[in-house]
């Protein structure tokens, strides 16, 4: 009787771990998205369960517009400038000029803002990923 219960319990655990592994594998399938948004901030990667934690989207800022101050918290962020120019305001640091075909990296725990100080639309892609718990 004990052997039967043990076998049944091991079978249930095996099925549960198999189901979890299958769900996690499904989350990591390649995906593509168009970045055709009507304006403002358009999220296309929304984190778990769609990804392992990465999020991302695109932003279109009119001249004089800004996204507003926010923090990366326990994430790191990359801004890929597609079109236009602007500035990344980073708390405690000099402003960073942004222009087409440029990538800006924002480290974890950093308050920042992006402002379009140019004369045309500023368009960029943002990608945010959680930092591993072993990295400080």
Q: Are 18 and 47 within one domain?
A: no
Which tops the pLDDT comparison, 106 or 19?
A: 106
Within-domain flag for 22: yes
Compute the average pLDDT of residues 75-102.
94
Q: Are 90 and 112 within one domain?
A: yes
Q: Into how many domains does the chain fold?
A: 2
Q: What is the mean pLDDT of the chain?
A: 77
Q: Are 112 and 69 within one domain?
A: yes
The yes-or-no verdict on residue 8 having pLDDT over 50 is no
Of the given ranges (1-10, 71-80, 91-100), which has the lowest mean pLDDT?
1-10
| Cα→Cα distances 111→5, 54, 61, 131, Å | 55, 19, 19, 16
Which tops the pLDDT comparison, 4 or 43?
A: 43
Within-domain flag for 1: yes
Q: Could you give the count of Cα atoms lying within 13 Å of 43 in the half-sphere of its Cβ?
A: 7
Tokens of 50: 């769609």
Within-domain flag for 57: yes
In this structure, what CATH number is given to the domain that contains residue 84? Answer: 2.60.120.10
The yes-or-no verdict on residue 15 having pLDDT over 90 is no
Q: Are 19 and 77 within one domain?
A: no
The domain of 79 spans: 40-130
Q: Which residues contact 7 (CB under 8 A, 6 or more apart)?
A: none
Q: Are 17 and 61 within one domain?
A: no
Q: Are 13 and 60 within one domain?
A: no
Q: Are 72 and 112 within one domain?
A: yes
Answer yes or no: pTM beyond 0.85. no
Phi and psi of 120, rounded to 5°? -130, 175
Phi and psi of 128, rounded to 5°? -120, 130
Q: Are 57 and 118 within one domain?
A: yes
Q: Are 66 and 85 within one domain?
A: yes
């Amino acid at each position: 009787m004990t052997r039967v219960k043990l076998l049944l319990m091991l079978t249930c655990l095996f099925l549960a771990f198999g189901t979890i592994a299958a769900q996690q594998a499904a989350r990591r399938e390649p995906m593509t998205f168009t970045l055709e948004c009507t304006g403002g901030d358009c999220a296309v990667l929304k984190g778990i369960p769609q990804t392992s934690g990465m999020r991302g989207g695109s932003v279109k800022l009119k001249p004089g517009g800004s996204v507003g101050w926010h923090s990366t918290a326990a994430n790191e962020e990359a801004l890929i400038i597609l079109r236009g120019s602007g500035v990344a305001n980073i708390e405690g640091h000099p402003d960073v000029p942004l222009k087409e075909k440029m990538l800006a990296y924002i480290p974890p725990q950093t308050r920042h803002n992006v402002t379009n100080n140019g004369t045309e639309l500023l368009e960029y892609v943002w990608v945010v990923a959680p930092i591993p718990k072993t990295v400080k």
